[in-house]
Amino acid sequence: METKIYEENEIAAAAQKIKEGELIAFPTETVYGLGANALLPESVAQVFKVKGRPSDNPLIVHVTDFQQVLPFVDKIHPLAEKIVEKYWPGPLTLIFSIKNGVLPAVVTGGLSTAAFRMPDNKKTLSLIKESGVPLVGPSANTSGKPSPTTSEHVYHDLKGKIAGILEDGATAIGVESTVLDLSDPTKAPLILRPGAVTKEDLEKELQTTINVDKHLVKESETPKAPGMKYKHYAPDTKVLMVKSEDWPAALAWIKDKKIRAGVIAGPQIAEQMRYDTAAVYMYPQDTVDAAAKGLFAGLRALDESWIDLDVILVEVFPETGLGTAYMNRLKKAAAQNYFQPTAEEN
């Protein structure tokens, strides 16, 4: 199968492929998604096959507005309309209890809930509108690997497996949307996956406590939302998180053991490590925004480089605001493993 790159003036042609049951990757403000007709089980099944994704993992349904969601929903949370008015379009996915049989089980993972999002990308909103149906849109990559933040990442993973990719350059945010559970109207909203819309943002806007589900879903469990598995977003190369005070010890370990290490960090750390490591991917600034945008690209760049690395060392950030989402992805890419000076030196 040829995988075509679609430009803005070819959105109608890309939508036609969706109507025919084909798969089209699309850009969002977070990462690129793998689009298929959410109402066509055969097309959705192809998404799982192409990605190599476990079939119990539910998918996010992408829509053009809240009105497109209402026919599916059984019970509307009292805060839903206020949240939608503030954050849609945007990097916020909402989980609702749905009516029986309105969505294929392959979309919901067999659950009685479903996740919906209105992405903040004009090209993709046009694609959904032209297709005439809501689209599932998990990250357009091989399952478990770093999510794609450029069309090149999508092409690398899915060339020859999907009909096309709607081109829109690099994504603005770089980590997937916040997932907020509104499935029980009698309970406070619950964050299942952190993202650019933070706990602090929601609490300030809604004037209520927002809880965060910190449960790490095991491989044997069915997650309620994507990205909740214990290990996820991981390259083939081993990843270790490095705390700020541990970089000198990490450098000593690299030199002493002759470790072929890659480093992903902001300029302050990257410049110090540049001459003693095999490869460096430097965030443009020492900020969590730059780190969140560059994490997946950095993991891909070092993992796929011609240098056969032994380990990738990645800078950590405080778990507040966007740092919560960044560390959520990094911890899963590293399978929760930090560089431990005493352990590594032995």
Q: Does residue 228 belong to any structural domain of this protein?
A: no
Question: What CATH number has the domain bearing residue 300?
Answer: 3.40.50.11030
- Tell me the CA end-to-end span of the chain in Å, nearest whole number: 51
Please check the confidence at residue 53 and state whether its pLDDT lies above 90.
Answer: no
Task: Please return the burial class of 209, using the count of CB atoms within 10 Å of its CB with bins 0-12, 13-18 and 19+.
Answer: exposed
User: Domain for residue 113, yes or no?
Assistant: yes
Note the pLDDT tens digit of each residue in 89-114.
999 999 999 999 999 999 999 999 99
Helix (H), strand (E) at residue 28: none
Provide the number of structural domains found in the chain.
2
CB 169 within 8 A of CB 149: no
pLDDT for the residue 344: 63
Asked whether residue 200 falls in the same domain as residue 139, the answer is yes
Strands 311-315 and 24-26: unpaired
Same domain, residue pair 43 and 166? yes
In a domain, 103, yes or no: yes
| pLDDT tens-digit series, residues 2-51 | 999 999 999 999 999 999 999 999 999 999 999 999 999 999 999 999 99
Over residues 194-240, the pLDDT tens digits come to 999 999 999 999 999 999 997 666 666 667 776 665 557 789 999 99
Residues 6+ apart with CB under 8 A from 106: 41, 44, 45, 48, 55
Query: Does residue 224 sit within a domain?
Result: no
- In this structure, what CATH number is given to the domain that contains residue 201? 3.90.870.10
pLDDT band at 54 (very low <50, low <70, confident <90, very high): confident
On whether residue 223 sits in a domain, the answer given is no
Structural domain harbouring 55: 4-212
Pull the structure tokens for residue 213: 């589900």
Judgement on whether residues 182 and 250 belong to the same structural domain of the protein: no
Is 232 a member of any domain?
no
Answer whether residue 182 shows pLDDT above 60: yes
Is residue 220 in some structural domain?
no
Is residue 182 domain-shared with residue 297, that is, in the same domain?
A: no
Residues 8 and 110 grouped into a single domain: yes
pTM score of the predicted model? 0.93
Same structural domain, 180 and 268: no
- Please tell me whether residues 38 and 152 are part of one structural domain: yes
Boundary-marking domain end, from 196, 212, 228: 212
- Name the average pLDDT for the chain: 94
The stretch 292-299 carries a mean pLDDT of 98
* 208, 243: one domain: no
In a domain, residue 190? The reply is: yes
Give which of 103, 116, 80 is closest to 189, Cα–Cα: 80
Identify whether residues 203 and 258 lie together within a single domain: no
Answer yes or no: do 205 and 265 share one domain.
no
Regarding whether 149 and 9 lie in a shared domain, the answer is yes
Q: pLDDT band for position 56 (50/70/90)?
A: confident
Q: Are residues 127 and 20 in the same domain?
A: yes
